Amino acid sequence: EEWRQFQQVQNEGGRASCQDDRSTFVLMRTSQFTPWNEEVLASYQQDLNRAGDQGWNLLTEKYARMMEHTAPQQYARLADRLPKRGPERLQLQELLISIMMQWTREVEQRCPHLMGRGRNLSSVQDGPWNVSSETYLRGELGTYSDETLGLYAQMVLDLLAQGENLVEQNMTCMARGYGYRSLKDAENACAAQSHTGRP
């Protein structure tokens, strides 16, 4: 359902190349969803289905919400069409973002070569064609229903209490999807490639 909605996202510069790369899309999104518990998955599936039934596109909404930081003038023209988020909801989102970004920085410290191939981390590094991990996460969390966000928050807090790192779990799934046995193996391969100058 995400892929179907992604195909309908209209970009200002025309269709994006990533909209024609289903295998990467599936790998990235599967890596994100695999560590989630069944409650969060079911709730988000319901969000997607409900949006589809109502003719609303959650993927379009996600990219529109990112534009608040990457293209504020264009965002101002779209803001009134987006579902409203109250102050308590925004406060919860920012708490989750702070936890997730701390986890991301921990993974970056252990896997600098691998993480260096991805997005910039902080929203202060955003530009019109450069979306950071922080801004991407803010856009994504902004699309979840209140119910899904609440379940997601409980999952994050449970993992935090258990000393687990959701970003590390996500990146481990991604590394395995690319054929590596572990996150460490993927980091070692990226480090070796950077030393030889190969992409």
Average pLDDT, rounded, for the chain: 89
Is the pLDDT assigned to residue 51 strictly greater than 80? yes
Q: Is the dihedral of CA 180, 182, 184, 187 positive or negative?
A: positive
pLDDT value at 41 more than 90: yes
Q: Is the pLDDT of residue 110 over 70?
A: yes
pLDDT digits (tens, 9 = 90+) for 22-37: 999 999 999 999 999 9
179's torsion region: left (phi>0), alpha (psi -120 to 50) or beta?
left
Kindly give, in sequence order, each residue whose CB lies less than 8 Å from that of residue 85, ignoring residues fewer than 6 positions away.
Answer: 93, 142
Rounded average pLDDT over 153-168: 97
Is residue 57 a contact partner of residue 51, using CB atoms and an 8 Å limit?
yes
Is pTM beyond 0.85? Reply is: yes
Question: In whole angstroms, what is the distance from residue 49 CA to residue 13 CA?
Answer: 28
Q: Is the pLDDT of residue 125 over 80?
A: no
Domain residue spans in the chain? 2-196
What is the full DSSP assignment across 76-87? Answer: HHHGGGSPP--H
pLDDT band of 73, cuts 50, 70, 90: confident
Residue 83 confidence (pLDDT) above 80: yes
Contacts of 168 (CB under 8 A, 6+ apart): 103, 106, 107, 183
Bridge-partner residues for 127, per DSSP? Answer: 130
Does residue 18 carry a pLDDT above 80?
no
Coil, helix or strand for 130? strand
